[in-house]
């Protein structure tokens, strides 16, 4: 039996997905190594977000298989996959607008006793105790991400950068084993990019496997251990970024796209 360290945290094979006859994903297959930060890169339209949607359960695939560790989770609905410890963020931040920042995080933990009607009425002390624990942890997480001052603000009132941070901290609050980040640096100013990179590296140190879709190759170079290149809905190559830069096919796939780090936002 493989040791935990060698087994891929997340693995997919032969994933296809077509929309009205057009194949967005056409045979994607890759492994996401445990406890590492992996980047999923590729030109626009390569199917990266679709793959993440499929892996997280928001969409079903037409064919293919997906594994979390040893368990097959192909086409499981998103809430079941989330329960297995896979959390994701969205490219365009989706905050729970009617709730406060703190409440956004309080929704995240799985299996809260307070979500059961019976507990609410017959075990109120248990519910209260768990809620206090969650609140303390949430306030800490908010503090780490610099959102503590905004804890009582309505989430819809946050700025774009703050919503990004909320998106990530909310996923973190759910104690994920695997975290899928969909373009975490999109539309974010350079200083915030550095901070988020710091957070992601801290997550890795704490034992979270990270897979991130990213266009900013500077970021990929800095923090990612492993890179998967997707093009035309198919896995083109995997490995370290330095190797991939030499890969003719990869360069060709990116033709017309600027790889120059200095102009990457």
- The smaller minimum CB distance to another protein, of residues 99 and 186, is found at 99
Tell me the closest approach of the beta carbon of residue 8 to another protein, in angstroms: 17
- The smaller minimum CB distance to another protein, of residues 199 and 239, is found at 199
Q: Which of residues 6-35 bind another protein (CB under 8 A)?
A: 19-20
Q: Which of residues 133-152 bind another protein (CB under 8 A)?
A: 135-137, 139-144, 146, 148-149, 151-152
Of these, 27, 114, 123, 126, which contacts another protein (CB under 8 A)? 114
How far apart are alpha carbons 121 and 235 in whole angstroms?
52
Q: Which of residues 46-65 bind another protein (CB under 8 A)?
A: 56-58
Determine the interface stretch with another protein among 7-15, 42-50, 194-202, 225-233 (rule: CB under 8 A). Answer: 194-202
Q: Are 224 and 241 in contact (CB under 8 A)?
A: yes
Phi/psi class of residue 27: alpha, beta or left (left: φ > 0; alpha: ψ in -120 to 50)?
A: left
- The smaller minimum CB distance to another protein, of residues 29 and 84, is found at 84
In which element (H, E) is residue 236 found?
strand 234-239
195 is an interface residue for another protein by CB under 8 A: yes
How many helices, marked H, and strands, marked E, lie in the chain?
10, 10
Q: Which of residues 151-190 bind another protein (CB under 8 A)?
A: 151-152, 154, 161-162, 170, 172, 174-177, 189
User: Which residue in 184, 223, 228, 215 sits closest to 91, CA to CA?
Assistant: 184
Query: Which residues make Cβ contacts (< 8 Å) with residue 249, sequence separation at least 6?
Result: 236, 237
Give the total of residues touching another protein (CB under 8 A). 80
Tell me the closest approach of the beta carbon of residue 13 to another protein, in angstroms: 23
What crossing angle do the helices spanning 124-144 and 160-173 adopt, rounded to 10°? 130
């Amino acid at each position: 039996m493989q040791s935990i360290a060698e087994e891929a945290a997340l693995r997919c094979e032969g994933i296809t997905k077509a929309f009205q006859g057009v194949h967005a994903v056409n045979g994607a297959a890759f492994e996401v190594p445990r406890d590492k930060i992996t980047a999923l890169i590729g030109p626009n339209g390569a199917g990266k977000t679709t793959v993440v949607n499929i892996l997280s359960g928001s969409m079903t695939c037409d064919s293919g298989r997906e594994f979390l560790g040893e368990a097959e989770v192909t086409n499981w609905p998103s809430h079941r996959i989330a329960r297995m410890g896979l959390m994701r963020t969205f490219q365009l931040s989706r905050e729970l607008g009617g709730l406060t920042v703190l409440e956004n995080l309080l929704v995240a933990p799985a299996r809260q006793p307070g979500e059961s009607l019976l507990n609410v009425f017959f075990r109120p002390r248990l519910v209260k105790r768990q809620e206090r624990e969650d609140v303390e942890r949430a306030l800490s997480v908010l503090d780490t991400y610099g959102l503590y001052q905004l804890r009582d603000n309505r989430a819809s009132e946050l700025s774009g950068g703050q919503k990004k941070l909320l998106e990530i901290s909310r996923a973190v609050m759910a104690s994920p084993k695997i975290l899928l980040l969909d373009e975490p640096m999109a539309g974010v100013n350079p200083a915030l990019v550095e901070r988020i990179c710091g957070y992601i590296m801290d997550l890795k140190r704490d034992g979270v496997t990270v897979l991130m879709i990213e266009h900013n190759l500077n970021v990929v170079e800095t923090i990612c251990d492993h890179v998967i290149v997707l093009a035309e809905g198919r896995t083109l190559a995997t490995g370290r970024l330095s190797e991939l830069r030499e890969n003719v096919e990869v360069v060709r796939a990116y033709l017309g796209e600027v790889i120059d780090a200095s102009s990457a936002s």
